[in-house]
Amino acid sequence: MNSDKPVDKLTKNKDYYFENGLMVLTAHFLKNRGYCCGNGCRHCPFKK
């Protein structure tokens, strides 16, 4: 899913962190983005 909402500059440990070399988005970032992308993100606040 694509959104027309621009993404502001990301802040380390607030919007994301790295685990085993992979970027993990935080619930804070995902909630502010405003929609679920459907990729099964670990911290997705939109899970049912």
Q: Coil, helix or strand for 30?
A: helix
Location of structure tokens 């990729």? 39
pLDDT at position 8: 73
Location of structure tokens 């049912």? 48
pLDDT at position 30: 96
pLDDT at position 3: 60
Q: Coil, helix or strand for 5?
A: coil
Question: What tens-digit pLDDT sequence spans the chain (48 residues)?
Answer: 556 666 679 999 999 999 999 999 999 999 999 999 999 999 999 976
Global pTM reads: 0.74
